[in-house]
A and B are shown apart, each in its own frame.
Chain A
Amino acid sequence: MIISSDDIIIKTIARIFVPFIQLFALYVIMHGHYSPGGGFQGGVILGASLVLLLITHGYEEMRRRVPEGAVILLGSLGLLIYSGIGLTCLLLGGNYLDYSQLSVILHVDPAHARAMGILGIELGVAFAVMAAVCSIFFDISTGGILPEDEK
């Protein structure tokens, strides 16, 4: 079980770095098509920032900041975005994940619609990957025994 480390140095440095790491992760997600990155890599970096927070601040503080339910909710939200966009394209007459059909709803020319579609897909993938990384790490670090069960 990861008890909160009483070392102020690592805690403060992690506290200073975490927001910037998360912003960098979002940058990597958003700029998938011109610079290296995309949904998957961005999601892993986002997960890594939460893992860093969990390592340095211990389990209790982490549950206050990112409750267990939120992680699973975010994962399913990602999946919803991913398949949602795919299905809407299907409903609009194109085949699955054919973004140009989205231009009908977004009142935008097909090229823009494709860009928007790709962005949406990458966001969905990133959320799903982040949730996966986090829940795996939560379960391994606690070994499945949550604080309530111990008491």
Chain B
Amino acid sequence: MNEFFVVVGLGLCLLVFLVLYRVIFGPGVFNRIAAVSAIGTKSLIILLIFGYIYNRVEMFIDISMVYALLNFIGCIAAAKYLEMER
């Protein structure tokens, strides 16, 4: 069962690298925010899978809760900041 988690975790890391392409070459700042938000959700799952691999699930659940929270607030803040006409 542990190997299954390791494989899924590595797969997700591969996906994060793919999305990284969009972060670097994304035509505008908005593509980059969308990509970063996508990376945020993927790393949330990677974090939880880490918890399962080291079977300290209790600790990693709290960390991933905070992570999901700050990822959401970050997205809203970035969108709000970019919306203002300078």
Contacts and interface: CB of A to CB of B under 8 A. Distances in A.
Interface of B is mostly: helix
Interface of A is mostly: helix
Nearest to B60: A36
B76 A56 contact: yes
A24 B76 contact: no
Contacts of B73: 48, 51-52, 55
A119 B83 CA distance: 41
Interface residues of A, number: 18
Interface string A33-52: 00111000100010010011
Given A24-B65, A28-B66, A48-B69, A35 B58 contact: yes
A75 B62 CA distance: 26
B1 interface: no
Contact of A2 (B65, B69, B72, B80): B80
Contacts, number: 35
A5 interface: yes
A21 interface: yes
A100 B79 CA distance: 50
Nearest to A137: B77
B63 A10 contact: no
A55 B80 contact: yes
Nearest to B66: A45
7 contacts: A5-B83, A14-B76, A35-B59, A36-B63, A37-B62, A52-B73, A55-B73
Interface of A: 2, 5, 10, 14, 17, 21, 24, 28, 35-37, 41, 45, 48, 51-52, 55-56
Instruction: Give me the 6 closest cross-chain CB pairs, A-B, nearest first.
Output: A55-B80, A52-B73, A36-B59, A35-B62, A36-B62, A48-B73
